[in-house]
Amino acid sequence: MSDYTPKTDRAEDAKPEQIKRFRDPLDRDPEAPPRALLDLLSGRVLDPSTAMKIRGVAPRATVYVSDRLLVPTARLDEVLALLNRVGEGKGWVIVLDDGFKPWEVTIPDPRNPEREMTLGRARLVLEVAEGQAASAPDAWVLLQLARAVDREAVAGVGLDHAVFSASELTANPVHEPNPVHEPNPVHEPNPVHEPNPVHEPNPVHEPNPQRVNGRNPVNYVGPRPYRCADDELKRLRPVVAMLDSGCDTSHPWLSGVVDESVTMDGPIGRTDPATDSEEHGDLAGPLTGALDTNSGHGTFIAGLIHQACPDADILSWRLVDSEGPVSESEWERALSQVVKLVQAYHAGKPEGRRIDVLSLSMGFYHENVDDTEAVETARLMLGALGAMGVVVVCSAGNDATARPQFPAALAPWRVEPTPSMSLPVRSDTLPLVSVGALNPNGTDAIFSNTGPWVRAWAPASRWSAPCRAGTAVSCRSPG
């Protein structure tokens, strides 16, 4: 298990605000996702070397929806007016996104549990103004222009980040994340003339030059995990919820175990059967018939949960599609519905459901980890779940870096002083758990993220579990 902790320049008698935090030498930016993946969300990569900057804001690389901003609902009108005033000079107009219903949830104030506070987000869209010829709207540019005018007025306004599933069930996460499509002899030169199998795998003869396990079918001979009948249980049946790619509930191990029908203020996540990657494995990319990156991931995670705790009921909601990613706005809204669901259970309402564990195998890299306002909404909702008895388990990510990935990086850090964005350790609240990946021999997995924000480690390689359409696969788990 990794106990890696970066050094800080700290004198024994220094005050916390005087401690200089050096950038972790293992904190490296992961490679940008391919253009085809960005196009699924009209995504844009923020390049720190060319991005618009203002004094006091030093951004790092991130991926965001190019023409959207997220705004606290409590300050929507004033922020919208400022953004339109600033955007006018660029030939842009900013409007409320008609395709996204603003949401709000009321939770106890963690600083004073006797009081309540309301969280909420609205989504704004940048458009070219009528009668104008302008550059393509860019949410980062608009946000920086607004910060230059009135930074306090846009506190809590943020990019709509692309949240990527931590699936990586494909074969080589080190150099070539998807050897089926990259390299593909149709689009890449003949592997005979591309002789380096380390950086240019040959999907025909050498699909996995790093010997990193991908998704492989296996034959399983043995009984299904034993699940106690209701009258056999001497305690409450555990409930594990997961926001993932959905689940193939027709699998014999999972039929009667996984429930995908639970709603709160409407459906949670995505429900269109035509885009269900657990039902249709090949929905994106070339017509090869190969499973997409996320296809089967939710079923695989549900299968691991069922093997570890056969008595648990599993609630599954589909949030990511076959190739992902999902927008931060959609992720936050689904999370707010889960909070309301647990609140309704504690209030004794029939629509409520008890949840003991929430699994989140996804995350994103924020351009500025010191911008605590930007992650405050997610931090407070996850903290509220912990206060209601829900253990939230977040994948640390599979990008082989120590760069903090959210929401996992909201867990309590192993350094002092703990960053203000992290959830505090409290005796009356269950902690958020960030989980890194180990090899079967207990060493750190080569693909796992690391750092002081990763608080737990678990084996995440050479696992076998159900996949989709009644199959079983052996692969590494997503952290």
pLDDT in tens, 7-61: 554 444 444 443 345 567 889 999 888 888 899 899 999 999 999 999 988 899 9
Position 157 in a domain: no
pTM of the model: 0.86
- pLDDT at position 464 is 81
pLDDT higher than threshold 60 for residue 437: yes
For residues 201 and 195, what is the distance between their CA atoms, to the nearest angstrom?
9
- pLDDT at position 327 is 96
Percentage of the chain exceeding pLDDT 70: 82
Task: Dump pLDDT digits (tens) for 59-111.
Answer: 999 999 999 999 999 999 999 999 999 999 999 999 999 999 999 999 998 77
Please state the rounded mean pLDDT for residues 328-354. 97
Position 21 in a domain: no
Report the CATH number that the domain containing residue 391 is assigned in CATH.
3.40.50.200
Position 47 in a domain: no
Range from 158-162, 178-182, 276-280 carrying the lowest mean pLDDT? 178-182
Q: Is the CB of residue 175 less than 8 Å from the CB of residue 198?
A: yes
Position 93 in a domain: no
For residues 153 and 78, what is the distance between their CA atoms, to the nearest angstrom?
8
pLDDT higher than threshold 80 for residue 460: yes
- Dihedral sign, Cα of residue 188, residue 191, residue 192, residue 196: positive
Q: Which residues of 150-170 are buried (b: 16+ CB within 10 A; e: fewer)?
A: eeebbbbbbbbbbbbbbbbbb
Position 441 in a domain: yes
Range from 118-132, 332-346, 420-434 carrying the lowest mean pLDDT? 420-434
- Residue 394 CB-density burial (10 A; 0-12 exposed, 13-18 middle, 19+ buried): buried
- The range of the structural domain enclosing residue 220 comes to 216-475
pLDDT band of residue 6 (cuts 50, 70, 90) is: low
From the list 444, 463, 477, the residue with the least C-alpha distance to 220 is 463
pLDDT higher than threshold 70 for residue 214: no
Q: Which residue bears the tokens 């409590």? A: 74
Position 411 in a domain: yes
The better pLDDT of the pair 198, 383 is held by 383
Position 454 in a domain: yes
Q: Is the CB of residue 83 less than 8 Å from the CB of residue 146?
A: yes
pLDDT higher than threshold 60 for residue 479: no
pLDDT higher than threshold 90 for residue 218: no
What is the domain count for the chain? Answer: 1
- pLDDT at position 4 is 59
Mean pLDDT, the chain, integer: 84
Position 430 in a domain: yes
- pLDDT at position 10 is 43
